[in-house]
Structure 1
Amino acid sequence: MLAVSAVRTDAQDPLGCLDVGERGEPVAAAGWTTVTVRAAALNRHDLWTLRGVGPSYQRIPVILGSDAAGVDEEGNPVIVHSVIGDGARPRGEDAGPRWSVLGERHDGTFAERVAVPRGNLVPKPAGLSFEDAACLPGAWLTAYRMLFDRAALEPGATVLVQGAGGGVSTALIVLGSAAGYRVWVTSRSAGRRKQAEALGAEAAFAPGARLPSRVDAVMETVGEATWEHSLRSVRDGGRIVVSGATTGALPPAGLDHVFFRQLTIAGCTLGSRDQLARLSRFCVRSRLTPVIDRVLPLSRAREGFRAMSDGAVFGKVVLTP
């Protein structure tokens, strides 16, 4: 079967480690099953793997990809929950020491077929296409949990999303607007600021700009480049929810802000299978669809990786076998 794999790692030439070619069929262990993939979504996690930035248990070579939607062995349309672990729950929720996602210990979803635990399958609502559904398990599930679980915001709250254009940030804008939040966004690009407003953001600002008022919560995926602005922008007693650090993970801590102003810093990685099911239902009821930058055949996966590496995407890149 055709698959996209990391055959080695190289921080300087990650795309040189990418292989698109034939691989053996997946073998389902006890309690696992096989899904025929109809669509799979690219994440920055896949690029980190090629760069050698991954957990100590990362397996190389490995078929990449953690998000997918497809058809199970009985012909049912399903969404694949990517978290592999005790109870398939995210880290920090009693997942156990062997928590991982597809594409780390186990071959991932950038293939014609993938083996997954039976408990990781969520029924795909008829109102979602396979391409849209494939975007939910990673970026959209992370955004859903950031907003509705880790930030615990009430409708009408003001949320600042640092950075516009990535899968998580576009999901935060769409989900937050649909939930009745005032969503503000920052971006270096004037074009992306306009795109964010078209998605539902109330206002968009240049990085580091002084905001009209402090916000109830900041959604942080950028890291070092925006951390100081996040600390200054959140109200006293507010929250900063962190799910990534694309510009670096070691910013000045700003602990004086944290303890004097009684801020809460909350981490977030993915979400549970039940949250994925609720997210899919919420999208259908609210008529929300993920922002998809482009859909490519699996054979052109390198093109999608290149676009993500160059920062030339707005939303998700989806691969279709």
Structure 2
Amino acid sequence: MAKNPSWILKSYATGMPSPDNWVLEDLSMPEVGDGELLIKTMWLSVDPYMRGRISPAKNYAAGIPLGGLMTGGGIGEVVVSNSPDFQQGDVVISDYFGWQAFTTVPVASAKIVDTKQAPVQAALSYLGMPGLTAYFSLLKTGAAKEGETVLISAASGAVGQIAGQIARIKGFDPVAIAGTDAKVEWCKELGYRTGINHRTSTDLVADVAAACPNGVDVFLDNTAGPIHDAAMLNLNTFGRVAVVGTIALADKFDQPDVGLRHLRQTLITRARIEGFLLDDFEADYDAALVDLSSWYEQGVLQTREDVAQGIEAAPYAFVRMLKGENFGKQLVEL
């Protein structure tokens, strides 16, 4: 048995990534340096932004060099601490977990997880990056107002399922776009007024128009691609578009994003299109988590998880998430 099975990036993906882009190596237990924690990994998160980490192209997330250890968000138990702020047995979250059974993370990146508040993995979902992304992209970047129609792509995913529920709680009119009929039905259970299966749609522009008879006021774009085009052609005057993710481009990450040009549409509608990065809202995380926690405790916020088992599953879970095959927040449990 491997001492510390670890996923190493073997090659950059030129199209849709494949598990063959990584190799599982048998590494020794990591040495714990100054200002580091040795962690036994419990949960790993795989997220769309990590597509940029396995490309040599410039990106907002730091890239992984060939031969380097794959990293991402994770939760685990402290085995060795080189900090008085963390003790052996503490459960912590960090964005710098290696894809390995035992990993080291910088103390500055680690935060203790309240294991009594909610299931531990919630810190990687609705009480973590996806929940905060949904909260700020909808309420701050999208600046949605009561009664406005909010169109959300990847609506059953980690961010979309939370955004739709926040929209319902706040009195907005949420409309889902998802990739299967089952996902659309799940979105309706969460409080979306209606939904569209973009994979079976033969005229996405017309389907968005039918689902949003009063037009689209706010579009949370988690995908890019043809869904973005359909939303833009239904956008109301002074509409807002929050570009949260581009997962539809995962198989052509290093290629130009070719499609309709919406300059005339943007001019006529005076729309605002703004890129969204969660780090820009760090000062307000605590206030947002109070809301998210309260909604969870009240029973008005729920989530669905798609859990893969074992460190061996990590790249497979990542690729299936990029392909939209997951149903809910994609996690890997060790």
- Quick check: TM above 0.5? yes
Check if 1:319 corresponds to 2:332. yes
Residues 309/162 of structure 1: CA separation in 2 closer, same or farther (3 Å cut) = closer
Q: Which has the larger radius of gyration?
A: 2
TM-score, normalised to structure 2's length?
0.76
CA contact (8 A) 1:160 1:217 kept: yes
CA contact (8 A) 2:18 2:319 kept: no
Q: 5+ residue gaps in structure 1?
A: 83-101, 103-107
Residue pairs, 1:127-206, within 5 angstroms:
127-135=117-125, 137-206=128-197
Residues 10/205 of structure 1: CA separation in 2 closer, same or farther (3 Å cut) = closer
C-alpha distance in 2 between matches for 1:180 and 1:26: 50
Q: How many residues align?
A: 296
Residue 214 of structure 2 corresponds to which residue in structure 1? 213
Residue 201 of structure 2 corresponds to which residue in structure 1? none
RMSD: 2.9
Kindly, what percent of the aligned residue pairs are identical? Answer: 16
CA contact (8 A) 1:293 1:317 kept: yes
Give per-residue Cα distances to partners, 1:15-61, cap 9 Å, x unaligned: 11222343344455554444433211111344554566664853222
Q: 5+ residue gaps in structure 2?
A: 82-86, 198-203, 250-256
Residues 68/228 of structure 1: CA separation in 2 closer, same or farther (3 Å cut) = same
Residues 298/142 of structure 1: CA separation in 2 closer, same or farther (3 Å cut) = same
1:64 aligned residue (56, 61, 70) = 70
CA contact (8 A) 2:168 2:191 kept: yes
Task: State the secondary structure of the residue aligned to 1:195.
Answer: helix
Give per-residue Cα distances to partners, 1:192-229, cap 9 Å, x unaligned: 21121122212113532112212321001221212222
C-alpha distance in 2 between matches for 1:273 and 1:32: 23
Residues 159/122 of structure 1: CA separation in 2 closer, same or farther (3 Å cut) = farther
Give per-residue Cα distances to partners, 1:237-276, cap 9 Å, x unaligned: 1210001222343433311121222111111123355555
With 214-223 and 265-274 compared, the bigger mean Cα shift is at 265-274
TM-score, normalised to structure 1's length?
0.79
Residues 35/175 of structure 1: CA separation in 2 closer, same or farther (3 Å cut) = farther
C-alpha distance in 2 between matches for 1:286 and 1:308: 27
Residues 62/45 of structure 1: CA separation in 2 closer, same or farther (3 Å cut) = farther
Task: State the secondary structure of the residue aligned to 1:166.
Answer: coil
Check if 1:232 corresponds to 2:233. yes
Residue pairs, 1:106-117, within 5 angstroms:
108-117=97-106
C-alpha distance in 1 between matches for 2:248 and 2:105: 32
